[in-house]
Structure 1
Amino acid sequence: MEGEDKLQSEGQDKTPENALTKNCVGLIEERKRSISELLEGPTKYPRRRAIIACEVCRARKSKCDGGHPKCRLCIDLNAECVYRERGFKLEARDKLILDRLDSLEALFRSSSERLEKNLSSVLQLQSNQISEEPQSPLLPSASVSLSSVSTPLLPVTAQTSPSYSRQLAPSPIPSSNSAHSKSDRSSKSEYSFSIPEDHSTTWLHLIQRPQVSQLLSAPTKLLHSPLHLEIERLPLNFDSNVLLDLSQVQPLVISYFQNVNPFIALISPYSWESYYRTAMANGFQSGSESLVVLSALALGEAAQQVSITLIPSGAPIPGKELFSRAWLLVGRSLLSSSLIDLQALLLCSVYFFFLIRPLDSWNLISIVCSKVRAICSADLDLSADNRELLKRIYWNALIFESYILAELDLPHSGIECIEEQIGLPSGFLEPPVMPLTVPGTDEIWYFLADIALRKLLNRVHAMLYSKASRKMPISSFHPIVEELEFQLNQWYENLPSPIKFQFGKDKPTNRFSTMLRLRYYVCQSIIWRVYVEAALENNSLLKDERISRGALKCIEASLFRVENIDQQRDGHILYIWQGSLALVAQIILLMAISVSPVLSQLLPYPTAKITHIIRYSVKTMVLHGTFAPSIKIAANALLDAEQKWSERIGILLRT
């Protein structure tokens, strides 16, 4: 990395700080070379084999017909026919990546302790030096524990090693949940991948910075809290007398498994026929299966639309009639702790995301999180498929909760503390006798990539935007952002080809690659934003090459995200609400940058094009604001800032 080369070039003297820095950089380079060697070379995928032979046929090395309760050979021999429990079916590419993971983990384990010790020593020396100098309000003196800086982002299909489930923040993150005490969180903080409470990533924190708040006409303290507005929001009314038309179900099923399930991987395609038959036998009026089926059909109808933000005012909301019938069945599932009921509640929460009702979604998610923790505490003996379903429920709950906690200051469930007990999903089992109707394949590539990126994003929030990090000197961020950027690039390099996007202006060929690319740039912009915020307060910091280079990366990532604002519709089922609020922060940041005499010189486009991009994005956010009060207040802040920003941009254009 250029930042590491910079450190080496500056280490000509023999001070202890430079010696430690050179040693640290050498370790990072050694690790990167080793990873590169592990990931190179020809790839030969092993042939998938069926695992259905009984013990007798295995011992005799005979072909087993897989009959139940006895196979043909055991009947002929009058022998006891015993089958092993079917193991998880791994795709060939899964096995290859997991094999490489073993080598990667051995490499990381051997170097992580030395790397962490050297990085911490460097930062301690830097903090000691800076503490002797006068501090600006932006750069107070402090030291920080870097127990997670050396933690790499593991490949997206890899099982997280206990050695690398590290504490993310310099201090434990206390839960607001009374059932989850501070001491409990502290004892399990080594597993923590939660977004910290009172983090400063949101647009509301950003506009309170002096160089940004001066764009607003009213004091920022007069703005209502987005959470306050969502709490006061009127509840939805669902028609309990709706008549269902299930004559055209198949297109909705196909739409769900093509456009929704790959994002969340929550329903096994091999279980769908059983769910649907049970629901139909109950007349879709009772039972957990009915709730699962109706919610999935509602999402399938919703996924047939481009985006809820483009539906004309007064037009029917897609899927709402199906979801109205499903909502009548939710009461029973709220009181149950069965996996199928938790699965059903998560599907309902996804539909609330589609409706841009984040607090309604959170109400269901928090219940699921509590029950998942209870299930793990009970240490139940689950079948292979139920264990797999539990993993998918867990990761969806953690991801959905993180979306909401990133924008609203709500209580944490603490679900991230049991991550080590859960593990990563690996695929539902194909039944010995395939159902007549299998509506899709069990593709989990996107889901696994989303898990890995969510963990990294939570780590970024905790290490760069927590209360403790706000007390760090800017120089202490250098090794942290370099390492987080390295982990983000490792995540990208490990994406499988079906969803791996290309950098550039061309839109990816499928919606899943499109969303991963947008979220890659969101993560990159957040990683490097600390330098832009510092430079807005003190322009002279840009004389440091590392800070100017980091600010440029943030600007380029934010500009790409805002310039391609319409691509967010590809993930409209899940991402409209959280994506809109993240975009508001990036738009405000670009406004402040474009009127800064120094930072504006880093913009890759002329002022006229920047102006067009920002004005179009503000109009888009105003449209989105009609669907949720938390977006509306952010859009109103943008409109307010746009007036003064336009005046200053007009002066720049005339000159």
Structure 2
Amino acid sequence: MNGDDDVPPITIPLGHQTSTSSLLSLPQMRPLVGDYPEDFIFRVEDTRSRSLALDFMAVSGAQADEKHVDRTVADDYLSSFLALVHAFHPIFDRDQLLASYEDVMRDGIGSDVRSGVFLAVLALGATASDPIDDDRDHEHGNTGDACMQRALRILVPAWMISFSGDVRISQGLILCALYFTYVVQPLTAWRLIHMASTSIQQLLIRQVPSVPFGDGGCYTARKGPEHSLTIFDNNISDILAEFHQPRSGIDVLVDRMPFPNYGTNPKLEHLCVLAEISARSLLNRMHHAIYFTDSLTIYAGRALDSLASSQSASDTPHPDASLLRMCSELNFQLERWYEALPVDIKPDLFDRTPGNKQACILRLRYWSAKQGIFRPFVVYATSSQFDSGGAEVPSSVISQCKVCLAACRAFLHGAGYLLMERTPYTYSSLQL
């Protein structure tokens, strides 16, 4: 048996306590913000009004006759997609995408799956360029909603009757999920990516070596259909971490996959994707090591109890000592991750103006991981055992609390740059 098969996958565990809802439900938070149920943020999100793009089945009669897509408008949307969306999620080969686009526009956008994929591309390009402070009536929705409705009318029924997996359907659903991250509908994005991942797994079960995509290129063993999902995994992982939604099983596969192979001369957008994937691996280790199973005692204020008392070197290690070592190791790995970033994409962690949005994202990943690693010390320092004033918080804990709070401030400061424009990271920017 391969030794790697004996190592369990490091994915976001169900029942972890890293989420914002878990933080709000802490006893020491009640005097500050009141009582919050564990799933408070999920309840808020679940009751929000849905995007107009989801009214894709509410079409009848003459409305069902799809309007012709003007070539000039479509070209503008495609240009916006390549400039604003592709840089974050380079799931296409640019030349192959352009060649397939020409084929689709020459034949005319119809009701086939290939047309559905490109309708999703056009929808993304249209909405990604919408201003975030748009004064239009919200009832009119986003610019790309009409194209997204058409895409969903094609792709969802196609997925329903496909039982052996289909690359183009999976790819189209991933693009649709990406669209709903741009319009900040995280639960809808989760649903669509869950659908896409089951289709991809159906393909992989049958070990399909090469599946054509339209008339312009194919996925191969080097860059298989799961490649698209690997790139999108960073966005969907933020949603899974907060809302504890059911996993499709693709996360186990993604954890065991090698990094995407972009050849010997990768573009900057490819380097950023690789950096994000490696950051996600570190965050998953943090979820497991600190906020899961036995580590949950940090939320009862017990994990660091014996820090207040001196221990000799001969004493048996207590859980608090193990947690200290774990936090130290994770912080070491975080610093190694940052130092290993190529200079062309390495963000200045403290610069007020990031060079580009990708640099801003990598900066947020760093500070999010930093505060998560050191949050247990803040939880401990604010626990009820220190309310009476009889016990003092150990100085070693205070120093770690300062690191956590500084990371929180840096995260909030950096998030502002992403929130000024439409990106697929709007929801992620609102989470520590």
Distance in structure 1 (CA, Å) of the matches to 2:18 and 2:286: 10
2:393 is aligned with 1:542: yes
Corresponding residue number in structure 2 for 1:62: none
Q: CA deviation at 1:572?
A: 3.5
Deviation at 1:382, TM superposition (A): 2.6
Q: Is the 8 A contact 2:200 2:226 kept in 1?
A: no
Matched-pair contact (CA < 8 Å) for 2:272–2:345: yes
> Alpha carbons of 1:490 and 1:572: their partners in 2 closer, same or farther (altered >3 Å)?
farther
Report the Cα offset of residue 385 of structure 1: 3.7
Of 115, 121, 130, 1:290 maps to 115
Matches within 5 A, 1:97-496: 190-217=7-34, 219-221=35-37, 225-233=40-48, 235=50, 236-238=54-56, 240=59, 241=63, 243=67, 244-307=69-132, 310-314=133-137, 316=140, 317-330=142-155, 331-336=157-162, 337-382=165-210, 385-387=219-221, 388-396=223-231, 398-419=233-254, 422-427=257-262, 443-471=269-297, 473-474=303-304, 475=320, 476-496=322-342
Going from structure 1 to structure 2, the CA distance change for 1:291 and 1:487 (only over 3 Å counts) comes to same
Picking from 377, 381, 385, the partner of 1:531 is 377
The AA in structure 2 aligned to 1:424 is F
**Mapped contact 2:9–2:255 kept (Cα < 8 A):** no
The one-letter amino acid of 1:386's match is T
Q: 1:516 to 1:335 in 2, by over 3 A?
A: farther
Could you say if the C-alpha distance between residues 493 and 224 of structure 1 is closer, same or farther in structure 2, counting changes exceeding 3 Å?
closer
Contact 2:418 2:425 in 1 (8 A): yes
Gaps of 5+ in 1: 1-161, 166-187, 431-439, 584-655
Contact 1:275 1:293 (8 Å CA) reproduced: no
| Letter of the 1:340 counterpart | R
Residue equivalent to 1:578: 428
Query: Per-residue deviation at 1:502?
Result: 1.1
Residue-pair matches, total: 384
CA positional deviation for 1:367:
1.6
| 1:543-586 superposed Cα distances (whole Å, 9 cap, x missing partner) | 242x2222111100101122344212267431212332x15xxx
Equivalences for residues 11-26 of structure 1 within 5 A: none
Between the aligned partners of 1:313 and 1:201, the Cα distance in structure 2 is 37
SS at match of 1:194: coil
Q: Deviations over 1:507-565 (max 9, x none)?
A: 111111011112211111111111111111155563242x2222111100101122344
Kindly state the Cα deviation for residue 393 of structure 1 after the two structures are TM-superposed. Answer: 2.2
Question: Following the alignment from structure 2 to structure 1, what is the Cα–Cα distance between the partners of residues 332 and 126?
Answer: 40
2:169 maps to a residue whose letter is D
User: How do 1:44-59 and structure 2 match up within 5 A?
Assistant: none
Amino acid of the structure 2 residue aligned with 1:192: P
Amino acid at match of 2:20: W
For the 8 Å contact 2:10–2:255, the answer to whether it is kept is: no
Report how far residue 390 of structure 1 moved.
Answer: 2.0
Distance 1:428 1:325 in 2: 36
Structure 1 residue 324: deviation in Å?
2.4
- TM-score under structure 1 length normalisation: 0.54
Do the aligned partners of 1:292 and 1:347 also contact (CA within 8 Å) in 2?
Answer: yes
1:469–1:526 Cα change, 3 Å: same
Instruction: Decide whether the 8 Å contact of 2:371 with 2:408 is kept in 1.
Output: yes
Taking a change above 3 Å as real, the CA distance of residues 379 and 565 of structure 1, as seen in their structure-2 partners, is: closer
Following superposition, the deviation at residue 339 of structure 1 comes to: 1.3
Q: Following superposition of structure 1 onto structure 2, how do residues 513-524 of structure 1 map, counting pairs within 5 Å?
A: 513-524=359-370
Tell whether the 8 Å contact from 1:256 to 1:296 is kept in structure 2 after alignment.
Answer: yes
Q: Distance in 1 between matches of 2:404 and 2:356?
A: 26
- Could you tell me the percent identity over the aligned residues? 24
- Normalised to the residue count of structure 2, the TM-score between the two structures is 0.80
User: Is the 1:295–1:323 Cα contact (8 Å) retained in structure 2?
Assistant: yes
Cα distance in 1 between the residues matched to 2:190 and 2:289: 25
1:262 Cα deviation after fit: 2.0
How far apart, in 2, do the equivalents of 1:535 and 1:189 lie?
A: 38
CA distance 1:534–1:328, shift in 2 (3 Å): same
Q: Which runs of 5+ in 2 are unaligned?
A: 212-217, 305-319
Q: Secondary structure of 2:99's partner?
A: helix
Whether contact under 8 Å (1:278, 1:289) holds in the other structure is: no
**Cα distance in structure 1, aligned partners of 2:23 and 2:400:** 18
* Corresponding letter in the other structure for 1:220: Y
| Rounded Cα–Cα distance in structure 2 between residues aligned with 1:272 and 1:211 | 53
